[in-house]
Amino acid sequence: MQKLKNFIAISWVQLTGIILTAILGAIIGVSLLGPADYDMEGLTLNLALVPSTRGDTVIDIAPIGSLSAETHEAPFEIHVSLLRIGMDIVTDQQAIDNAKKTFVDDLDTNFRKLIQPFLIRQLVVGILGALILVLLLWRPDWKRTLIGILSAGLILLLTLSWGYSTYKPDAFREPNYDGVISLAPDMMKLAEQMLENVDELQANTRAVLGNVRILFDKADTLASLVDPSEEEEIRRILIVSDLHSNPVGIEVMRSITRNFDIDYLVNAGDMSDYGSSIEMKLAEVLNSIPNPTVFAPGNHDTPEVNSFMEDLPNTRVLDGQTVPLGDLQVLGNPDPLADDPEVDYIDINKEETELQAQIDDLTATVEQEGKPDIIVLHNPKYAEQLADLAPVIICGHTHRLSIKKVGQSVFLNPGSIGAAGVRGVYSETGVPYSAIILYMQAGETPVAADQILYHPASGRFSIERSLLGTGY
């Protein structure tokens, strides 16, 4: 009888050990095999479940920090890592105007759909982990194995169900911030204040440029300001670069185009900062500029930006071939980083190699197709090697307006039509809005260039004319 009691006691101890081992195996299985990647409305997210005394969801946005909220009551945390932001995350203006509300509403509907397969995965890998660890440590008969696995599975199922049933996505309406992202609320307030003034600044820009055009027309009694485009063959070409998603910069472009009777437009790149859908949404007003346009993508542009520009009416993205711009011939190619997620070179040797290859490609095209009227590229680092290959060489990138002659070529850099980015909305002492109006005739050297500078905060606007070919 005593031996039977001892056997039963040993069996219960063993069974308890098997159940505890199964629970430990389930935790290990969830930790090692539970994390998985999911897509939610253009966001690629990695989800992982971590045992905890708090029922938080933690969203990690490397490298700027994280935000978290107490979303459920079960003893585990859900860690969400943002891996990738897709280009189509924003599809309409409503999403921009109501970004915070939309995010929370989407989290409520889409995250619940996403959390279901994630929790099912945790249950499956938890049971698998329990089975493996029990077999490795105990090697019990199938009955004890089944009891241990079912016990661990039931506990895991109840815990996950508890978390799912109590999950509250609207907890993220007031999240906790950690890291640099803790500045986000203040930055959002600053952004809202800035955007509230964009419409006013755009209206002021239209008024200022309209008045300047009137003054400019009345100044034709001065020899230095005689309109060089009085001859029918001479074209007015607006040259811009480095908008960097500044909506006021687009208004400057529209106003100059309208008030100065522009024929063609040359854009030397960097339409955006990050190539995101939000930035392209802001740029849709470019549809209202009807002038024939060529665009040489910059280091901040992306294939998505290039596609957006190609879809604009009368716009041609330069890809290394000579193309017509009205009666002019224009050659240009994209910046080497236009197809790269990076916007700056880390390896200086790679920078030198790729930029030199860009120059070599342009040179080879000129040798094959003949001299164009204009060559356009974004980065001017090695551009002077193109001297004498075209009457006009246009670059951007530096945000500094300049006109200079090298050999028989005029090198033009229009500076930044976006004042170096949306932060330029309030720029008064920093980078101004700038552009160049070029006067030239097909097959001839350029006649003149007007340098345009605009400081919207002070309302200061200036035009300086350079008569080209006269020792400027």
**460 alpha-carbon distance from chain centroid:** 31
Of 140, 156, 178, the last residue of a domain is: 178
pLDDT at 220 over 60: no
Tell me, what amino acid is at 277?
S
Mean pLDDT, to the nearest integer, of 160-181?
75
Is 297 within a domain?
yes
Structure tokens given for 422: 């949306």
pLDDT over threshold 50, residue 161: yes
The reply to whether 349 and 405 lie within a common domain is yes
Asked if the structure places residue 374 within a domain, the reply is: yes
Report pLDDT digits (tens) over 33-74.
999 988 776 677 889 999 988 888 888 765 556 778 888 899
Same domain for 132 and 195, yes or no, is no
Does 132 lie in the same domain as 29? yes
DSSP 450-472: EEEEEETTTTEEEEEEEETTS--
Among 135, 160, 178, the domain-final residue is: 178
293 belongs to a structural domain: yes
Q: To the nearest whole percent, how much of the chain has pLDDT over 70? A: 72
The total domain count for the chain is 2
Q: What is the pLDDT of residues 338-391, one digit of tens each?
A: 887 777 888 889 889 999 999 999 999 999 999 999 999 999 999 999 999 999
Q: Is the pLDDT of residue 325 over 90?
A: yes
Residues 30 and 105 in one domain: yes
Asked whether the predicted pLDDT for residue 124 surpasses 90, the reply is yes
- The pLDDT of residue 13 is 81
Q: State residue 419's pLDDT score.
A: 84
Identify the band that residue 430 occupies on the pLDDT scale cut at 50, 70 and 90: low
Average pLDDT of span 421-444? 76
pLDDT at 423: 53
Q: pLDDT band for position 455 (50/70/90)? A: confident
Q: State whether 194 and 79 are in the same domain.
A: no
Based on the domain organization, do 270 and 144 belong to the same domain?
A: no
265: nearest Cα among 245, 298, 288, 240: 240
146-165 per-residue burial string, b: 16 or more CB within 10 A, e: under 16: ebbbebbbebbeebbebbee
Specify the pLDDT at position 82. 75
Of the listed ranges 172-176, 202-206, 344-348, the least confidently predicted one is: 202-206
232 in a domain, yes or no? yes
312 and 195 within one domain: yes
Give me the CATH number covering residue 366: 3.60.21.10
pTM equals: 0.57
Name which residue leads in pLDDT, 32 or 106. Answer: 32
| 97 and 77 housed in the same domain | yes
Whether residue 342 sits in one domain with residue 232 = yes
Average predicted confidence (pLDDT) for the chain = 79
Write out the DSSP string of 377-396. -S--TTGGGGTTSSSEEE--
Q: Is the pLDDT of residue 107 over 80?
A: no
Residues 174 and 191 in one domain: no
Tell me: pLDDT of 265 over 60. Answer: yes
Say yes or no: 122 and 223 in one domain: no
Q: Is residue 270 one of the residues assigned to a domain?
A: yes
For residue 118, the enclosing domain spans 2-178
- Tell me which of 144, 178, 212 is where a domain ends: 178
DSSP, collapsed to helix, strand or coil, labels residue 325 as strand
356 shares its domain with 402:
yes
**Would 472 be classed as within a structural domain?**
no
**What is the pLDDT, as a whole number, of residue 200?**
56
336 has a pLDDT exceeding 90:
yes
Q: Is the distance from CB of 218 to CB of 438 less than 8 angstroms?
A: no
Residue 393 lies in a domain: yes
395: pLDDT strictly greater than 70:
yes
